[in-house]
Amino acid sequence: MEVNQEERYNPIDAAAMIDTVLRKEKNWKRLHFYQKTVVLYQMTYIFSLRFLPKYGDRTVDQMVQAARSGKQNIVEGMADGVTSTELELKLLNVARASL
């Protein structure tokens, strides 16, 4: 049985089709609100080291982890936003809640 040339799988066509389906990934490092979250994380970390007890206080850990989580959820949301706008919005809302 002979396969017609037009029916064969062509990886170049598949790559072109994926480019039209998926959105382009944004550079999250250049986003203004991401840059603000990096500064907020750094300020929270330095504040907790300087003014709060180093051991025995769970609140300090929660503050630092929430600031870090906000920053990381922006990164993950922007990366997942290539395939799913819904997931991107959910992760960006989680980031907002963490901050």
- CA geometry: angle at 65 spanning 61 and 67, to 5°? 125
Residue 19 maps to a domain: no
Residue 10 maps to a domain: no
What pLDDT score was predicted for residue 72?
92
Among 95, 56, 59, residue whose Cα is nearest residue 75: 95
Distance CA 30, CA 94 (A): 20
What pLDDT score was predicted for residue 59?
87
Spans in the chain with pLDDT lower than 70: 1-22
Residue 57 maps to a domain: yes
Report the sign of the C-alpha dihedral through residues 15, 18, 20, 26, in that order.
negative
Residue 67 maps to a domain: yes
In this prediction the pTM is 0.69
Residue 2 maps to a domain: no
Distance CA 73, CA 93 (A): 9
Residue 17 maps to a domain: no
Residue 88 maps to a domain: yes
Q: Number of folded domains in the chain? A: 1
- Tell me the residue range of the domain where 90 lies: 28-98
